[in-house]
Each structure stands twice: as structure tokens, then as C-alpha cells.
A and B are shown apart, each in its own frame.
Chain A
Amino acid sequence: GAVVSQHPSWVICKSGTSVKIECRSLDFQATTMFWYRQFPKQSLMLMATSNEGSKATYEQGVEKDKFLINHASLTLSTLTVTSAHPEDSSFYICSVPSAGTYEQYFGPGTRLTVT
């Protein structure tokens, strides 16, 4: 399967600051990437679909001005949590879809803690 990396693996930031999380597809180019959020002891919830060369598509209830997504190239998508608050503390996971199937390859996740 494809290798997907995320950076950083964990980050602690102060309330009111912004944090950028990177997701890279190391094996192949991806015009689409997905961002998920997982709260402790809960399931993954899709936040948005990152589209190379166009705007991201956000799921209902996700604030697009707070969670900025930039699909800078065919191998890189970034998620910026702006003006972070403690309730944004979560595990953020990206994925890259496999071409021709419905399988997705997941990154290792980024744990964000906002103090």
C-alpha cells in the first residue's frame, strides 16, 4: 500500500495560535486527500476533502474559515487550525485514496493539544 506521512506527529500550542499539519503522499500523486478528526475514544469523522488545484470541500458542521486546507501539490495537503481553542484538541488524520478502488491509505495521525 501507499505510504502517507504526517508532520508533526504531535503538537502542543497555546489557545489563540494557529497550527499547520502536513500530509504527504510518498508513493504516488494524489489529486484528492481526506482529513479526518478523531476525538479520544471516538470514531473518525470526515472533516473535508482536499482537492488539488481547487477549493476543499467541507463536511457539514466543519468551519472552513477555522480549518484551512491547501492542496499545494499532487503530493502535499496542509490543514491549518486557526485561532485554536482547547476544544480543537484532537487526533487529526489524513488519507489518500487508492486509484481505481475505494480503499484509502491513512497517515499516522497528528495529535494536537491546545492549552
Chain B
Amino acid sequence: AQSVTQLDSHVSVSEGTPVLLRCNYSSSYSPSLFWYVQHPNKGLQLLLKYTSAATLVKGINGFEAEFKKSETSFHLTKPSAHMSDAAEYFCVVSDPGYNKLIFGAGTRLAVHP
């Protein structure tokens, strides 16, 4: 069975400093992994996705994530946080064959001036 663990429920950074949101997954298959962002009262937006191509995935708004099979991790990073990055971030794994998405619990990112 697939599962996702987001290691931090809250992360707080200062504007201009790096962001690291941690995600570990469990999968019996070669997984497809995603990061989605949800701003308050807004729909989910796809940041980036890994689907067995390059292990370093670049997404929108300067975010990137690295798939590390040996560590079963897919951490999200950004070199320099912006105030507009404050939101809820979800790490997601896809259940192959059934097209189902399994969401992590989410990490709330706060960015301080």
C-alpha cells in the first residue's frame, strides 16, 4: 500500500531564507510523486511532479524536489522564500493502476518579514 509522511506540520522561515519541506513515502511500486500547494480558500495547485524521469524535478515559482529512492524521500526546497509562499503544502503519491492520489497530512509554511 502507498503512504506519505510529511515530517513537519508547521515550518516557519524568514523571507529570503531557504525552504525545506520534508516528505517520505512508502510504495510497493515505482511511485509517481507530487507536491501541491493550497493557499487559503483557494484550490490546489500543482507545484511539481516526479514520474520516473529525472530525479531532480523543477517546478513553478522556484521550487524543486529531489527523488531519493534509497531514502524513500521527496523533499521540497526553494533557495529563497517569498512572502507569497506562505500556504499549505501537500506531498502526494499516486496509487498506480487506480489513478488514486494519497495525500500527506500537509505542512503549513509561514514566511516572516
List residues of chain A with CB under 8 Å of any chain B CB.
1, 32, 34, 42-46, 49, 93, 95, 97, 101-104, 106-109, 111
Contact = CB atoms under 8 A, between A and B. Distances in A.
Contacts of A42: 105-106
Contacts of B41: 111
A104 B96 CA distance: 13
B62 to A, nearest CB: 19
Interface stretch (B12-20, B44-52, B63-71, B77-85): B44-52
Given A34-B101, A106-B44, 11 more contacts: A34-B100, A42-B105, A43-B106, A93-B43, A95-B101, A97-B99, A101-B32, A101-B49, A101-B51, A103-B49, A108-B42
Contact of A44 (B42, B51, B90, B96): B90
The number of chain B residues touching the other chain, given as a range, is 20 to 34
A46 B104 contact: no
A54 to B, nearest CB: 15
A102 B94 contact: yes
Contacts of B25: none
Nearest to A44: B103
